[in-house]
Amino acid sequence: MKAAVWAAFCGARDHYRQGVETFRRRFPGLKKLQQQLADHRGGPAYTVKAPLVYNLALDDLGPGDEIRLILVADNPGRREQETGRYLVGPSGKIAEGFFRNTPELGIDMRRQVLILNKTPVHSPRTVELKELCRLGGPPLAVRIAESERFMASILLEFHRALSLTGPIPVWITGYSEMKKGGIFQAYTEALKEIYGPGEALRAWIFLYRHFSMNQFSIDLRGQAGEGEGPQDTLDRIGRAYRRRILGW
């Protein structure tokens, strides 16, 4: 990264880390509710270590690193709250496989992709954020929505920082829960506001299906045009889903 990009990146990273810590102080009973979910979900029980997760992988980056893509997933699951790193569970392994098996993109996921989430709030599975809100009642639902809006603002801050020497793309996966009434409706509303018509970087936002259960790759193969390379297909369907959800 050039000096100006590195300085802006560090500022965004500090803001992100401080914001997650602030939310952690404002969610005093969250860990107890998450433990209830972990204990009664029907799968293997585990101990909740981190109710909110800042992505420690960002602390591994230095001025000599090059970020070529921002990837936005949903929220920290079991492995993420154990390790303090994003996309390291089953979906993360599928994502790594996609980049490894698509050399045409020339992207090393663990070295050249900055990974964010739509909220730093942990749940065993993303869909269980709804159950978490039910357990915590309206006050918790409001705070989780606030965390989504915060993460949308953090995305734009990183996007601007890393695009100082030229725009880089943002891939937002799991668009289905970004619709009205979805788990991440607040995130979508915030994106529409902050990536307004005057924000040139809005053209570099692309939406996709989840990496989980290989939905991302299946969709990519299914929609590939004749003679079309992976990057062209990704751009085309990413713009189409963006129009469907964000309206531009």
Instruction: Note the helical H segments in the chain.
Output: 3-26, 30-40, 78-83, 90-100, 109-112, 129-162, 185-194, 215-223, 230-246
- How far from the centroid of its chain's Cα atoms is residue 27's Cα? 21
- How far from the centroid of its chain's Cα atoms is residue 215's Cα? 16
Q: Supply the CATH classification number for the domain 3-246.
A: 3.40.470
Q: What pLDDT score was predicted for residue 62?
A: 96
What is the pTM (predicted TM-score) of this model?
A: 0.97
The torsion of the CA quartet 159, 80, 242, 129, rounded to 10 degrees, works out to -130
Domain ranges of the chain: 3-246
CB atoms within 10 A of CB 82: 18
- Token readout for 56 is 């420690």
DSSP state of 224: P
pLDDT along the chain (248 residues), means of 10: 97 98 94 93 86 98 97 97 96 96 96 98 95 95 97 98 98 97 97 97 98 95 93 98 98
Q: What pLDDT score was predicted for residue 45?
A: 84
Q: What pLDDT score was predicted for residue 40?
A: 85
Closest by CA to 171, choosing from 209, 197, 198, 213, is 209
Q: What pLDDT score was predicted for residue 42?
A: 73
Q: What pLDDT score was predicted for residue 43?
A: 74
